[in-house]
Amino acid sequence: MHTAIASALTQTSVCLLAPLSGYLLAIDRVPDPVFAQKIVGDGIAIDPTSQSLQAPCDGEIIQLHPSHHAVSIRTAEGLEILMHIGLDTVELRGNGFTPQVKVGDRVKAGDVLIDFDADYIALHAKSLLTEIVITNVDRVGSLSCRSGSVAVGKDTVLEVTLAEGVDAAVATPVGEQVTSEPIVIPNPVGLHARPAAVLANLAKNYQAKIQLHRGKDSANVRSVIALMSLQVGHDKTVTLTAS
């Protein structure tokens, strides 16, 4: 970024508190390539010793997965934070999870978002490792990750500095709009975090406005959280448009 532009921006820092007690792990050490390669976004993971996922900051609930294993918050600064409890936990289809919030709720740091049964999840899923990920990384100027053991609601796990005034949206080009043939989703668990992240990452290679449509609802394909919010399940039909 040119110095003149950078100096004109106001930088804001957002500190995220531990949403769980446990031991922190670098995101690139998570045994899941989509998280480890930061395709979903950048952040940190925690091996939990508590069983109530709490809000790491003030914000609005913008996504709650139907299986209740993942929830996303948007801060007043526009930072979008995905918290994903365990690995392959989408396959539990809600068993072991009890949500305490719904989409549209405003929460304060420390509010309980999801209660979960750690023993049940440990026995039925790949891992309890919980990811705290900034999905709109184009808003992030720098990110500082902590390490070691943390206490829920007390210790900072991430400090994020973002550049205000940067519009990360892609301008709509002047040109033709094309629409795909209907696409039936073959993935047994639908468009959850992993396939949504892969799709969003692919879309960034194109200078176009790309939308995914399910019935009357649509989402910006570049946004992992927007795609997850569509709640596209197995065998559902969608279309893509690009302009």
Q: Does 83 share its domain with 151?
A: yes
In a domain, 204, yes or no: yes
Q: Which of 65, 84, 192, 213 is catalytic?
A: 84
Q: Does 144 share its domain with 44?
A: yes
Reported as a single tens digit per residue, the pLDDT across 141-189 is: 899 999 999 999 999 999 999 866 554 444 445 678 899 999 998 988 8
DSSP string across 125-187: SSB--EEEEES-GGGEEEEEE--SEE-TTTSEEEEEEEETT---SPPPPSS--EEPPPEE---
In a domain, 117, yes or no: yes
Q: Does 117 share its domain with 188?
A: no
Q: Does 88 share its domain with 155?
A: yes
In a domain, 168, yes or no: no
For 200, the enclosing helix (H) or strand (E) is helix 193-203
Quick check: is 124 catalytic? no
Q: Does 37 share its domain with 74?
A: yes
Please say which residue of 163, 191, 206 terminates a domain.
Answer: 163
pTM: 0.84
Parent domain of 216: 178-242
Q: How many domains does the chain have?
A: 2
Q: What phi, psi does 142 have (nearest 5°)? A: -150, 155
Q: Does 108 share its domain with 23?
A: yes
Give the CATH number for residue 186: 3.30.1340.10
In a domain, 235, yes or no: yes
Reported as a single tens digit per residue, the pLDDT across 101-156 is: 999 999 999 999 999 999 999 999 999 999 999 998 888 889 999 999 999 999 99
Decide the pairing of beta strands 42-48 and 22-26. antiparallel
**Distances 150 to 37, 45, 159 between C-alpha atoms, Å:** 24, 12, 14
Question: Cα–Cα distance between 118 and 96 in angstroms, integer?
Answer: 8
Q: Does 150 share its domain with 185?
A: no
